[in-house]
Chain A
Amino acid sequence: MTELNTLTLAEARDKLRSGDVTSVELTESCLKQVEGADALGAFVHKTPDLALEQARAADARIRAGDAPAMCGLPLGIKDLFCTKGVPSQAASRILQGFRPEYESTVTQKLFDAGAVMLGKLNMDEFAMGSSNETSCYGNAVNPWRRAGDSAQLTPGGSSGGSAAAVAADLCLAATGTDTGGSIRQPAAFTGIVGIKPTYGRCSRWGIVAFASSLDQAGPMTKTVRDAAIMLGAMAGHDPKDSTSADLPVPDFEAMLSGDIRGKVIGIPAEYRMDGMPAEIEKLWADGTAMLKDAGAEIRDITLPHTKYALPAYYVIAPAEASSNLARYDGVRYGHRASLGKGDGITEMYEKTRAEGFGHEVQRRVMVGTYVLSAGFYDAYYNRARRVRALIKRDFDQVFAAGVDAILTPATPSAAFGLGEMAEADPVQMYLNDVFTVTVNLAGLPGISVPTGTDASGLPLGLQLIGRPWEEADLLNTAYALEQAAGFVAKPQKWW
């Protein structure tokens, strides 16, 4: 019999509804895996008692004939989501000991739909990073290794714990958040599916803010079908988030036909970077051929301002972060530095923030402070926002010309080794997001689908970018790609 923790959401849901398994059995199976997987550094706060209590409640609902989409399905929750009474610290020392008195809208929606929470998942501090190496909990580790090599690899970031946990079958699926690629890059590095929906599709209320105009939550799952099921449960209008869209949420799963005949898929010239590894080049060409074989029309397109997306992002995101993170001052929650004799309130702020924020967070807060400071606001911040408008216009024009979705690589390489980038310039690390960050700047939905492996057997993913609010169509195209690619490889268990 298949181990229950290895089931997809769809399989587990069907078995729950038919009475073949109970949520308690599923949950216990996952909890056992979580217990044995500390070497992955994925779960940083475990909530087994809460999980079993939720599982028993879910079983009662199912018995009563009330089984909504996520009922009884065990999930991991990224530490960025505030969960009532459960530590929620955005992998930062500055939120040490913080137990929210409230529940984020997205986790509340999942719980209302019957989901079970196994615990909180590792991530880069305040979601700032692409390797999960800036976490106060230590690294999350990729369950995948290069063939014949025991070097530890990054699961990507910032949702590295979510990616590792799903790829290693510790949970059936997990929540992630994506500001510049933090769902899609780790999904690609671990051979799973991750979708960042249109900006405004999921409420940001109760999610620790990084860059508010870019942040979006989304599901990280084993299959495209699971992404469709879970996104449906996470999405929807929320009066508590003024940027959340008051639009109906379609039945994403019902629209997975796999039929993409006549759809127009754009291949953007600017994503063919100098020095792109031949493997990524081939992956992209193979994916293009798969969509063509499935009946789509392939069209070469141009997105001329692509090159400027990363520099614009590294003005806008730090600027918003410097503003959002001003709230961590040692007064209302989290860490406060112990003060010396004669220290006043300014010293309290400065010492608290120096002790509480890690290096990368400090650097970004200060860069943000600089680009917003008097005399530089126009030159940096306003210019970046104008470039952002041009990046969005590039996409608008392509969609207006009839393109339904855009196919690109998800990442410039497979997962790299933990510690490998330690000596590199921060800008080198930022290049991980080169294919994903445009999508956040333009507010579009984007999905990463595993479609192949590199020479050492590591998973590689392709990204599909869709029109705003058309996640259903995007998921269907991703479904067709997933069917054609037939990626079924799993990491060998070593942990």
Chain B
Amino acid sequence: MSIDLEKAAKVAKLARIKVEPDALPALAQEFNNILGFIEQLNEVDVEGIEPMTSVTPMRLKRREDVVSDGDQQAKVLANAPYAREGFFAVPKVVE
């Protein structure tokens, strides 16, 4: 499966990373090299093998369904590039 410029642009869009059009050929080439390397996996007989979900056989712990944290608005916002009136601020999303 080879990646052309259109597909490379689509992947960049899905990943929300701006890639200038003149950088797309090199990017597509890199994808193809890496995917070529990954293609080796097709040699493996995986019939009847379940995809691994957890490397250690353990049951995820559950905690009590209670409020255990909160009321830290100032700390939550402390690192925001742009915050106002107690909220994260972003460019206008809806007209």
A348 & B34 in contact (Cβ 8 Å cutoff): no
Verify if B58 is at the interface (C-beta below 8 Å from A): yes
Residue from the list B19, B38, B46, B80 in contact with A386, Cβ < 8 A? B46
How far apart are the CA atoms of A473 and B35 in the complex, in Å?
Answer: 39
13 contacts between A and B (CB under 8 A): A100-B79, A101-B78, A213-B55, A243-B54, A243-B56, A311-B40, A311-B41, A314-B38, A336-B81, A366-B27, A368-B15, A385-B52, A392-B52
Q: Which residues of B contact A (CB under 8 A)?
A: 3, 11-19, 27, 30-31, 33-35, 37-44, 46, 49-56, 58, 60-61, 63, 72, 75-76, 78-82, 88, 90-93
B52 & A336 in contact (Cβ 8 Å cutoff): no
Verify if A384 is at the interface (C-beta below 8 Å from B): yes
B91 & A345 in contact (Cβ 8 Å cutoff): yes
| Distance in Å: Cβ of A297 to nearest Cβ of chain B | 28
CB contacts (< 8 Å) of A239 on chain B: these are 61, 63
A331 & B88 in contact (Cβ 8 Å cutoff): yes
CB contacts (< 8 Å) of A97 on chain B: these are 79
CB contacts (< 8 Å) of B11 on chain A: these are 366, 369-370, 373
B51 & A339 in contact (Cβ 8 Å cutoff): no
Verify if A307 is at the interface (C-beta below 8 Å from B): yes
Interface residues of A in 309-327 (CB under 8 A from B): 310-312, 314-315, 322, 326
Given contacts A307-B40, A312-B41, A426-B33, contact A345 B82 (CB under 8 A): no
| Distance in Å: Cβ of A37 to nearest Cβ of chain B | 30
B56 & A311 in contact (Cβ 8 Å cutoff): no
Residue from the list B31, B38, B55, B56 in contact with A380, Cβ < 8 A? B38
How far apart are the CA atoms of A99 and B79 in the complex, in Å?
Answer: 7
A427 & B16 in contact (Cβ 8 Å cutoff): no
CB contacts (< 8 Å) of B81 on chain A: these are 330-331, 333-336
CB contacts (< 8 Å) of A425 on chain B: these are 33
| Distance in Å: Cβ of A252 to nearest Cβ of chain B | 19
B61 & A242 in contact (Cβ 8 Å cutoff): yes
What does DSSP make chain B's interface, helix, strand, loop or mixed? loop
How far apart are the CA atoms of A184 and B59 in the complex, in Å?
Answer: 29
A308 & B56 in contact (Cβ 8 Å cutoff): no
Given contacts A343-B91, A365-B17, A369-B11, contact A333 B79 (CB under 8 A): yes
A339 & B91 in contact (Cβ 8 Å cutoff): yes
Interface flags, A207-239, vs B, CB<8A=1, else 0: 000000100000000000000000000000001
CB contacts (< 8 Å) of B92 on chain A: these are 344-345
Interface residues of A in 428-458 (CB under 8 A from B): 430, 441-443
Residues of chain A at interface, number, CB under 8 A: 74
Interface flags, A363-379, vs B, CB<8A=1, else 0: 10111111101000000
B17 & A443 in contact (Cβ 8 Å cutoff): no
CB contacts (< 8 Å) of B75 on chain A: these are 101
Given contacts A101-B75, A331-B80, A332-B79, contact A311 B37 (CB under 8 A): yes
Given contacts A239-B61, A387-B46, A390-B46, contact A369 B15 (CB under 8 A): yes
| Distance in Å: Cβ of A129 to nearest Cβ of chain B | 15
How far apart are the CA atoms of A265 and B59 in the complex, in Å?
Answer: 31
How far apart are the CA atoms of A493 and B31 in the complex, in Å?
Answer: 42
B56 & A468 in contact (Cβ 8 Å cutoff): yes
Quick one: closest A residue to B29, CB to CB?
A: A425
Quick one: closest B residue to A97, CB to CB?
A: B79
How far apart are the CA atoms of A343 and B18 in the complex, in Å?
Answer: 13
With A101-B75, A311-B37, A343-B91 already in contact, 7 other A-B pairs whose C-beta atoms are closer than 8 Å:
A308-B44, A329-B16, A336-B82, A345-B91, A353-B15, A388-B55, A389-B51
Residue from the list A334, A353, A392 in contact with B17, Cβ < 8 A? A353
Quick one: closest B residue to A335, CB to CB?
A: B81
B41 & A389 in contact (Cβ 8 Å cutoff): no
How far apart are the CA atoms of A357 and B17 in the complex, in Å?
Answer: 9
Verify if A200 is at the interface (C-beta below 8 Å from B): yes
CB contacts (< 8 Å) of A353 on chain B: these are 15-18
Quick one: closest B residue to A344, CB to CB?
A: B91
B34 & A314 in contact (Cβ 8 Å cutoff): yes
How far apart are the CA atoms of A330 and B80 in the complex, in Å?
Answer: 8
Given contacts A315-B38, A385-B52, A425-B33, contact A354 B44 (CB under 8 A): no
A389 & B19 in contact (Cβ 8 Å cutoff): no
